[in-house]
Chains A and B, each alone.
Chain A
Amino acid sequence: MPDNRISLGQGILKGLALTIKHFISRPIITVQYPEERLVTSRRIRGCDLVWDSERCTACCTCAKSCPQGNIHIETKVRPDNTREAVVFEIDHGRSMFCGLCVESCPFDAIHMGRSYERATYNRDSLVIPKEKLVAQGDRQPSGYFRPQFEETLPPQSLLIYGGKSSEVKTPENPPPQSPATAAPVSEKKEPAEREKVGVK
């Protein structure tokens, strides 16, 4: 069907104007990874699990809920009839980071971590014993299923909301990260609150 619109070549001119505008004025959005990093989502399920030795009652719920059987716990009864975990190991190499252990822990003692750089040279070093499982260095808990941490974490930097420049974190200037113990942890969570987290 013949189209009777008069074309003055506006389409091509508009396109050329747009590209030259991008060339001149739009900031570059490349994030130069090892030097620059974006702030991850506050609820990231990163490549590690963070354990809180203070809060853990060695109830082994996490170990039972793990679909892979990655969590290895050996317990001992203390004189005051409480239990303590003598061995607490998680095989990060087999974990699929589903977060079921985190969701199942009745005492908020295990959290998903925020880190995503966990490459190693051998598989054995992916089995992490309890001394190394606690929050330390860049092994910090994320807000996944833990709204009490989520509130303290910096918001995610999203490139679609404008330039990266203001929000990019450089190694010299990392955003404040909450240590596992810094945030006040609600003793007993109401079921309603859990629901809210799921919806949010």
Chain B
Amino acid sequence: MDWLHWIIYVVIILAFVLTLVMSFILIERRVVGRFQLRLGPNRVGPQGILQPVADAVKILLKEDIIPSKVDRVVHLLAPIVTFAPAVLIFAVIPFQQAGNGLFFDLKSTASMVDLDVGVLFIFAISSISVVGLVMAGWASNNKYALLGAMRTIAQMVSYEIPMVLAVLGIVLIAGSLSLADIVDKQNIPFILLQPLGFFIYFLGATAEMNRSPFDLLEAESEIVAGVNIEYSGMKFAMFFLGEYAYALAVSTITSVLFLGGAKFPWGLLPQSFIWLLVKILLVFFVILWIRSTLPRVRVDQLMGFAWKFLLPLSLINLFLVAAEGMLPSGFTWPIVALNVTLAVALVVIWANRFYRVGGAKVA
């Protein structure tokens, strides 16, 4: 790999992440507004498309306050440590597969590096942002920040496990940890072969990026603003951007792992990065849909949900995938039907079991 390749991809990834994060902020405000029968920001530029720019200018001009008793170095580093991993994830995302495309053909996969251990890389890197949040909570010298950070550690560590176990199912089917291989193998999107895995992964990822209904990190009514309470100006903006970059990363990973990445379903049309973009927006829309429907859960409900509901289900799912892997190939559609039925049945049965034993309640 020559240096030109690196530079081009650094530029592409930065442009991709920054423009999409900016538009995600606007999309979120407009879409959630629409859900609440409001308009959302629509004054700056046509349909409000310049609103993120106005916000960025505002936040850049704000005073950057460093409280006197903070641990300065850690306080300054924390936003960066939170934001950077979200961008790093995109290094292994295949934007388009090798071969014929809708607009142009490619000799090799369009990703910065096609790591053989891409999935492992993603989960390793994305865990780093927890460290950033803990640094922010500790260094801020503020009880609310620390409480928010403690909650975040508990939440992220718990949800990581079912999430990774759910993705293991994908890895078993595809027989590879490389994202490009996983996309290549998806002649039908893996969401059909792995409905239960998708369910677990999606809920886990929603919790992992602190999205409503799992946004306990910044439960305004309880801990004011959580870890970013002492942050202002550009440092706060880093946290904010990090949160959206995370939402983008999760939407992208979901699209790549479960929805077939740059491929058009069943290969009806040639593959293209456009399809990846459409899928990312679709996943983000579902995240917003969930956000505007469900209220925030309590801390004990959150932990109970991860350990007593998602974790057993993900273990069952892994077992099922392994068992199905021993079947001779060629039974794709029966397996899809079986898996969808099993997923619905398991979720319903386990949810009732969970409810009976008082899983979501304070014992």
Instruction: Point out residues on A near B: beta carbons under 8 Å.
Output: 2-4, 6-9, 12, 15-16, 18-20, 22-23, 26-30, 32
Q: Are B35 and A12 within 8 A (Cβ)?
A: no
Residue from A3, A4, A12 in contact with B294 in the complex, judged by beta carbons closer than 8 Å: A12
Residues of B within 8 A of A16 (CB): 289-290, 293
* Least Cβ–Cβ distance between A5 and chain B, in angstroms: 9
1/0 contact trace for B284-301 toward A, CB 8 Å?
Answer: 000001101110000000
Which chain A residue lies CB-closest to B213? A12
Quick one: which of B212-247 are within 8 Å of A by CB? none
Q: Are A9 and B293 within 8 A (Cβ)?
A: no
Q: Are A30 and B348 within 8 A (Cβ)?
A: no
Give the distance in Å from the alpha carbon of A22 to the alpha carbon of B34 in the complex.
Answer: 8
Residues of B within 8 A of A28 (CB): 34, 37-39
Q: Are B292 and A8 within 8 A (Cβ)?
A: no
* Least Cβ–Cβ distance between B207 and chain A, in angstroms: 15
Instruction: Point out residues on B near A: beta carbons under 8 Å.
Output: 31, 34-39, 289-290, 292-294, 347-348, 351-352, 355-356, 358
Q: 22 pairs across A/B with beta carbons < 8 Å?
A: A2-B358, A4-B356, A9-B347, A9-B348, A9-B351, A12-B293, A12-B294, A15-B293, A18-B293, A19-B35, A19-B292, A19-B293, A20-B289, A22-B37, A23-B35, A23-B289, A28-B34, A28-B37, A29-B37, A29-B38, A30-B37, A30-B38
Give the distance in Å from the alpha carbon of A15 to the alpha carbon of B35 in the complex.
Answer: 12
Residues of B within 8 A of A27 (CB): 37
* Least Cβ–Cβ distance between B117 and chain A, in angstroms: 36
Give the distance in Å from the alpha carbon of A3 to the alpha carbon of B347 in the complex.
Answer: 18
Which chain A residue lies CB-closest to B36? A22
Q: Are B294 and A15 within 8 A (Cβ)?
A: yes
Give the distance in Å from the alpha carbon of A18 to the alpha carbon of B36 in the complex.
Answer: 11
Residues of B within 8 A of A18 (CB): 293
Give the distance in Å from the alpha carbon of A6 to the alpha carbon of B349 in the complex.
Answer: 9
Q: Are A7 and B292 within 8 A (Cβ)?
A: no
Contacts A6-B352, A16-B293; is A30 near B35 (CB within 8 Å)?
A: no
Q: Are A7 and B355 within 8 A (Cβ)?
A: yes
* Least Cβ–Cβ distance between A1 and chain B, in angstroms: 10
Residue from A3, A7, A9, A19 in contact with B289 in the complex, judged by beta carbons closer than 8 Å: A19
Residues of B within 8 A of A2 (CB): 356, 358
Residues of B within 8 A of A8 (CB): 348
* Least Cβ–Cβ distance between A11 and chain B, in angstroms: 10
Residues of A within 8 A of B352 (CB): 6-7
Give the distance in Å from the alpha carbon of A16 to the alpha carbon of B293 in the complex.
Answer: 6
Q: Are A32 and B39 within 8 A (Cβ)?
A: yes
* Least Cβ–Cβ distance between A54 and chain B, in angstroms: 45
Which chain B residue lies CB-closest to A29? B37
